[in-house]
Structure 1
Amino acid sequence: MRDSFEKRLNKRRSLTTSSGQLDWSRCYFLIQSLAGAMWWIGVFTIPGIRNATLGTLPAQLIAWFDIPLFILGSLLLALGWRQGAWVVLPWITLVTAAMFIYSLITATAGLGTLIMIASWVCSLLAAIQMFIGRIPSEHLIRGPFAFRTAPQRNVKGHFWRTASQLLCFWALFLFVIPAIILVIERRLNVMLQFPVELRLFGVLALISASSLGIWSAVTMSTRGQGTPLPSSMPRRLVISGPYRFVRNPMAVAGITQGVAVGLISSSWLVVVYALAGSLLWNWLIRPQEEANLEENFAEEFRNYKNNVSCWVPTIHIRRN
């Protein structure tokens, strides 16, 4: 009986899964616990950290709740006590919401608010991973976003449908969302002023990436007989145009455009938004999309995947 208890205890203490793989969710909560402890030490010893992350909020009062609910709770999660998620996540949600409102009203503690937002997102993903063993990304491609082959249309129909989609995406992801982020960034008082040279580079990057996006969209609609959207996937595998060099030129273009908008507007948060979007797309959406392409095009797609990189352009040199 005692041996069985010790085995269960050792299993909980281990940061590996039953298959011997590293349990990144528990590793994250361990790092979060240690980082939280170091942050509180900094709050009580370095005035600059306290002002940047808490503003005029009462540090002692918050510490009475945060140390047991956040630091110790994260440590318990790292040790394998999954029930701790029902304490840690509600607390992080409450603190994040309160900090966000406080920072918007007072224009202080913006750095602390951003840290809590990042902590909330990562904690939520880690908790999901801990409870079900994976991130259920398949739920992101259901309903109107489910993968469907484009209906039969002439080239002109696919072209105009793709053009309208492209304009809507550009308006939302390159104008509306960055504009909201920029307003929040200024209100939280966490702006950085980029040098003029970097902003000019952003203009060049935006022009280049937009050209790549248009080229990719035209190729997709004319050669693939479909659109870039999952709900209207191409009827033919597209391996020409920019797709000769990289498997996801539209994703490369979109991410570069987002970063460029951040550089032009001198907003580091917009740059982070674009890069974070690239990571989420790469980890959650791309595997689903490529599985669908492999199902539809079988060996043709597998050969293409083996010969053309996802992100880094593949240059094919012809030899005589």
Structure 2
Amino acid sequence: MNPFTAGFRGGARLGRAYFAAQAIAGALWWLGVFTSDVVRTATLGELDAVAIAVFDVPLFVVASALAAAGSRAALWVLLPWTALVSAGMALYATITGLAGWGALLMIAAMLGSTAAGLLVTMGWIPAERLLVGPLGFRLARPAGRLGHLGRTGAQIVVFWGLFLVVLPAAIVLVEARWQLDIALPAAVRLIGLMLVVAASGLGLWAAFTMSTRGEGTPLPSAMPHRLVIAGPYRYVRNPMAVAGIAQGVAVGLIAGSWLVVVYALCGSLLWNWVVRPLEEADLESRFGADFVAYRRQVACWLPRLRPVPVPAATD
């Protein structure tokens, strides 16, 4: 069985629990809309609350409750409605600058409903279908040290540019337009600057070690041929992931954007629950007892105080 699917045995129950929580949250939100001007303005702007409630209460709140009770037919109502409202609210917030919190909440509900819908209908989320193209698991093509370093450098430019510059910049623009931005002290930006320098140093160290010791790159589509237990890998099992998440948080602090920080933390959850189980299953299948022993000694996220000894074969 796929290691990720094994982690979601009983997933249908988890999905129904999500829909139950969503039904309660939706009902409480509508209560707030009709009893608080602050809630109504922040989430609906100048939209007619009564007109929207006529559709949203049965198609979102009631449908969520029915999905929680086990009705799969309700999903065919709930999921399209949630996607439609999310798109409409995002467009409205972008054009007017109003109801940003409503747009954000509906996007979160759409993502949560989609994941919960997969759990209810399939019992699991088909994570391996996300790992295609540059994220698919393949061994690196044979190349010399300079070749692997060159590929790794190109990967760093592309992925750091996309995930640490382009996407955060877009989030900052949306955050400002939707009036979701929060003023942060100047000291926060200084902390972010120090963190991004430290995290980038860790990422470069890990990438260099992987390329020169593992005969590959950190990217799944060009995985190393050798098990790397050297450099930062002697302290923590996934230094590239630790560095990437820390960089994302640091960029959010530098930009003064709480949404970028949330984006980075969500990335950590996605990597931990989707990518890591599949990656470690691949490593175990290729390196067997050596990887199992390494995994037992070195944690995924929390670094060791003392480095694990370097095996003679990789020293």
- State the TM bucket, normalised to the shorter chain: over 0.9
Match of 2:88 among 69, 73, 98: 98
1:57/1:76 Cα in 2 relative to 1: closer, same or farther (>3 Å)?
same
**Are 1:257 and 2:259 an aligned pair?**
no
In structure 2, what is the equivalent of residue 135 of structure 1? 125
Deviations 1:126-156 (A, max 9, x none): 0011111100001112344321111221111
Q: Is the 8 A contact 2:237 2:299 kept in 1?
A: yes
**Per-residue deviation at 1:315?**
2.1
Could you tell me which runs of 5 or more consecutive residues in structure 2 were left unpaired when the two chains were aligned. 1-8, 309-315
Match of 2:151 among 145, 150, 161: 161
Deviations 1:67-106 (A, max 9, x none): 1110110000000111110000011011101100000011
**Are 1:46 and 2:36 an aligned pair?**
yes
**Per-residue deviation at 1:317?**
7.4
Match of 2:136 among 137, 146, 159: 146
**Are 1:231 and 2:221 an aligned pair?**
yes
Computed over aligned residues only, the root mean square deviation of the Cα atoms, in angstroms, reads 1.4
Which residues of 2 match residues 15-164 of structure 1 at below 5 A?
23-164=13-154
Q: TM-score, normalised by structure 1?
A: 0.91
**Per-residue deviation at 1:239?**
1.0
Distance in structure 2 (CA, Å) of the matches to 1:149 and 1:306: 24
Q: Which amino acid aligns with 2:212?
A: T
**Per-residue deviation at 1:22?**
7.9
Distance in structure 1 (CA, Å) of the matches to 2:147 and 2:89: 49
Which residues of 2 match residues 286-297 of structure 1 at below 5 A?
286-297=276-287
Match of 1:278 among 256, 265, 268: 268
Q: Which amino acid aligns with 1:227?
A: T
**Are 1:211 and 2:201 an aligned pair?**
yes
Distance in structure 2 (CA, Å) of the matches to 1:221 and 1:184: 37
Distance in structure 1 (CA, Å) of the matches to 2:191 and 2:35: 41
**Per-residue deviation at 1:20?**
7.2
In structure 2, what is the equivalent of residue 177 of structure 1? 167
Could you tell me which runs of 5 or more consecutive residues in structure 1 were left unpaired when the two chains were aligned. 1-18
**Are 1:242 and 2:237 an aligned pair?**
no
- Aligned residues between the structures: 300
- Structure 1 runs of 4+ off > 3 angstroms? 19-22
Indicate the SS of the match to 2:225: coil
The structure with the largest alpha-carbon Rg is 1
**Per-residue deviation at 1:24?**
1.0
**Per-residue deviation at 1:246?**
0.8
Distance in structure 2 (CA, Å) of the matches to 1:56 and 1:276: 31
Q: Which amino acid aligns with 2:277?
A: P
Distance in structure 1 (CA, Å) of the matches to 2:224 and 2:93: 46
Report % sequence identity: 53
**Per-residue deviation at 1:163?**
1.0
Q: Which amino acid aligns with 1:64?
A: V
Distance in structure 2 (CA, Å) of the matches to 1:250 and 1:39: 40
Q: Which amino acid aligns with 2:242?
A: V
Deviations 1:136-185 (A, max 9, x none): 00111234432111122111111111111111111111101111111111
Give the number of the structure with larger relative contact order, counting CA–CA contacts within 8 Å between residues 6 or more apart: 2
Q: TM-score, normalised by structure 2?
A: 0.93
